Structure 1
């Protein structure tokens, strides 16, 4: 009987050990919820101008961008959650706060249109601009599209196509662009 009681006690203690808190509880997993982005706004200032133009993308409408040939522009991109029009949330602030985990990539079919990180762009800890503020230079007259990607946790911040960056796409938007 003494052996049976000892075995039962050992089994009971073993069961308690299995249900005790695990070491995972000491390091809870941080959950970074994906933000809702309903609106992307581009504020554009032509080199030498004082009044900006604003272009907006939503799921239901996209403004067409009109640029002049042989001109440089500063573009600032904003990501907004306007699902409650009375309480619009600026997601751009979070993107900037998490600059090491974000990157904005632009691709285009507009011949002669180039993008570079602007002097006032947000810089990550590797000294790379994340393209919240970019300079666009146009040459020639042409038309096409510009596609902007907000990339979360890119594996690289250099490349020529979206596939070069890895990570997840938080949002992808397309604007029609005409250079005249």
Structure 2
């Protein structure tokens, strides 16, 4: 399974959206250099309040650009970085990957997928009604989260728009993605 990077974003301050950049540098075990969510332990304010010593399984957020077209059909306009992701992708089924998938990006960067992004109410603050578009239920009544995946950095590297992404599935039984 493969795809491409369409945009990269980072923000050194807590903010819902992240400005697009020409490139971002991924740092092993930390996340995106200069991003507020980089670190060994949790950096999301809600998780810090629960337990600031938790490992940071949300170092790098990836979201599929195809979601923007999907919500666009319902009248919402969303551009790369506006939902807080660090890497916007095209052509790879992020939500269909199992936990532990390695994503090789560009020349040397490697991410390990840790789980699904659990969207919060800030999405409705960004655009009223958008949360209902990105969280729904399947035919069996199970919650479906569409706002991308979270990952940790396993190998340093610079990531730029246009870089290829190759998915390497884990060996053994696959564990489906769950919110992290």
TM-score range, shorter chain: 0.3 to 0.5
Could you state the TM-score of these two structures normalised by the residue count of structure 2?
A: 0.32
**Which structure has the greater CA radius of gyration?**
1
Bigger RCO of structures 1 and 2 (CA < 8 A, at least 6 apart): 2
Indicate the structure with greater strand content.
Answer: 1
